């Protein structure tokens, strides 16, 4: 897996991701402290609003940013967005009103909504070979999981010697470091396609996404991930501290179990994906998450909640989480030309976060109003519905190479597939097939 770091461009991009993630992790801790300083017992409401603003920015801004990313030099765009995020982080310690937090967080997350899909769409251009790209995806998944462990630890160490507001300085330094690393390499910027109107550019990624069977299946799997993930991220503190009466240290170990499962999945996936198709691996991950939620509900109903069982369940959920999310970049890479990738990655970014926008509040409300067993079962049913939708939308024959029947009624009119036929049969590996079929359709 580490062999991909031999590529200088990717190595700098990966390090940029790592330092930005560490900065973001420090900001999460610092925001909690800042919210408490300004709102006292109302801090939970402030943080809930902050997370809602984050999701709204992700869902609303990403498609718009993806529409224009193809027309801007990627390196300059990414560096500029990192500097915007750094400026917002520097300003946060000086706020005196809650509304100022909301404004700065919206600006910061809007910049992230433009940065992340563009950054993700650049990696397959830097590493065009699928085997190397798969290892880069696993490495990225590991970075996210390690950040969940390292950032709180680093924040605790820093808080021992400095005030909470100074953590935002670390956040700003992370974004500045990311900007320097991105600016130190030459990034590919595919030539944009023919000029299009604003509506066409803004909706292009989502239209391509929804017209592609495997991506409709991916959207359904995003619902599985968000349902299971929301149970872990929203309700772990209630389960561990509230119901089991354990300490915050036990909560940290519980979240570590989830992260450890995800890390194990990320380590196993490169070799697994060399042997098995994406669909089989991702469906197995989804089944594992649904089964884990149902199994925990049954055990809690029969014998009550036990911490060891919760640790094992969260590890299984983490494993399934990685099995679904890690290969998703491969599907997006196969489903668009290079110039359309920013728009398609932006569509995935927006649509996946729309699922989280549904499941985050649902998980919290269910746990508060109906209790643990009902919450687990409802989220399991929601995840199961996503799994069923994936089976219906993503044909079993689509392994990325076989020919199969599909339609393009929702594709943009200038898409390479639309050269005279609305329905035909060919392989869905678009970047492999387009040149061969362009002369026939």
Residues 8-37 have pLDDT tens digits of: 988 998 899 888 888 887 887 787 778 777
137 has a pLDDT exceeding 60: yes
Q: 243-283, pLDDT tens digit by residue?
A: 888 876 787 788 888 888 988 988 888 889 888 999 999 99
Say which residue, 48 or 377, is predicted with more confidence: 377
Q: Write down the pTM of the prediction.
A: 0.77
Q: Give long-range contacts, CB 8 A cutoff, 24+ apart: 246-249.
A: 246/307
Q: Do domains 1-189 and 201-441 have the same CATH topology?
A: yes
pLDDT value at residue 399: 55
The fold of 201-441 is Growth Hormone; Chain: A; (1.20.1250)
Tokens representing residue 284 in the block = 């197995």
Q: 312-352, pLDDT tens digit by residue?
A: 999 999 999 999 998 888 888 888 777 777 778 888 888 98
Query: Phi and psi for 426 in degrees, rounded to 5?
Result: -165, 175
pLDDT value at residue 143: 79
Task: Please say whether the beta carbons of 124 and 101 come within 8 A.
Answer: no
pLDDT value at residue 197: 57
pLDDT band for position 290 (50/70/90)? Answer: very high
CA distance 82 to 178: 7
Measured CA angle at 10 (ends 7, 14), to 5 deg: 130
pLDDT value at residue 251: 79
CB contact set of 27 (below 8 Å; sequence gap of 6+):
89, 92, 167, 168, 171
Q: Where are the domains of the chain?
A: 1-189, 201-441
pLDDT value at residue 69: 62
Q: 30-51, pLDDT tens digit by residue?
A: 877 787 778 776 665 676 677 7
Residue for token pair 């299971």 = 228
Instruction: For the domain covering 1-189, report its CATH number.
Output: 1.20.1250.20
* Residue 148, SS3 per DSSP: helix
pLDDT value at residue 382: 97
């Amino acid at each position: 897996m580490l062999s991909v770091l031999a590529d200088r461009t990717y190595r700098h991009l990966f390090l940029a991701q790592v330092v930005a993630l560490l900065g973001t992790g420090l900001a999460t801790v610092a925001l909690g402290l800042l919210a408490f300083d300004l709102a006292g017992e109302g801090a939970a409401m402030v943080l809930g609003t902050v997370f809602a603003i984050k999701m709204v920015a992700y869902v609303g801004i990403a498609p718009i940013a993806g529409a224009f990313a193809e027309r801007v030099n990627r390196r300059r765009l990414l560096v500029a967005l990192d500097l915007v995020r750094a400026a917002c982080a520097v300003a946060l310690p000086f706020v005196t009103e809650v509304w100022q937090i909301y404004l700065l967080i919206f600006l910061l997350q809007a910049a992230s909504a433009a940065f992340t899909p563009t950054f993700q769409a650049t990696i397959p251009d830097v590493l065009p070979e699928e085997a190397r790209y798969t290892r880069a995806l696993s490495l990225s998944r590991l970075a996210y999981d390690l950040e969940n462990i390292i950032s709180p630890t680093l924040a605790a160490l820093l808080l021992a010697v400095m005030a909470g507001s100074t953590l935002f300085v670390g956040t700003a330094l992370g974004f500045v470091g990311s900007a320097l690393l991105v600016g130190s390499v030459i990034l590919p910027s595919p030539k944009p396609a023919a000029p299009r109107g604003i509506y066409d550019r803004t909706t292009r990624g989502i239209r391509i996404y929804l017209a592609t069977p495997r991506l409709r299946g991916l959207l359904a799997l995003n619902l599985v991930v968000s349902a299971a993930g929301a149970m872990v991220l929203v309700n772990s503190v209630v389960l561990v501290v509230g119901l089991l009466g354990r300490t915050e240290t036990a909560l940290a170990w519980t979240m570590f179990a989830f992260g450890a499962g995800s890390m194990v999945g990320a380590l196993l996936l490169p070799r697994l994906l060399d042997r098995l198709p994406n669909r089989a691996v991702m469906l197995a991950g989804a089944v594992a998450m649904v089964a884990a939620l149902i199994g925990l509900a049954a055990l809690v109903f029969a014998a009550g909640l036990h911490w060891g069982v919760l640790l094992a369940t969260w590890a299984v959920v983490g494993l399934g989480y990685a099995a679904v999310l890690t290969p998703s970049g491969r599907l997006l890479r196969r489903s668009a030309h290079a110039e359309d990738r920013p728009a398609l990655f932006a569509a995935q970014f927006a649509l996946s976060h729309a699922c989280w926008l549904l499941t985050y509040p649902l998980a919290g409300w269910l746990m508060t109003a109906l209790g643990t067993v009902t919450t687990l079962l409802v989220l399991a049913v929601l995840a199961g519905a996503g799994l069923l939708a994936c089976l219906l939308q993503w044909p079993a024959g689509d392994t990325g190479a076989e020919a199969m029947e599909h339609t393009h009624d929702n594709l943009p009119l200038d898409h390479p597939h639309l050269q005279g036929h609305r329905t035909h049969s060919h392989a869905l590996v678009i970047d492999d097939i387009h040149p061969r079929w362009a002369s026939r359709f």
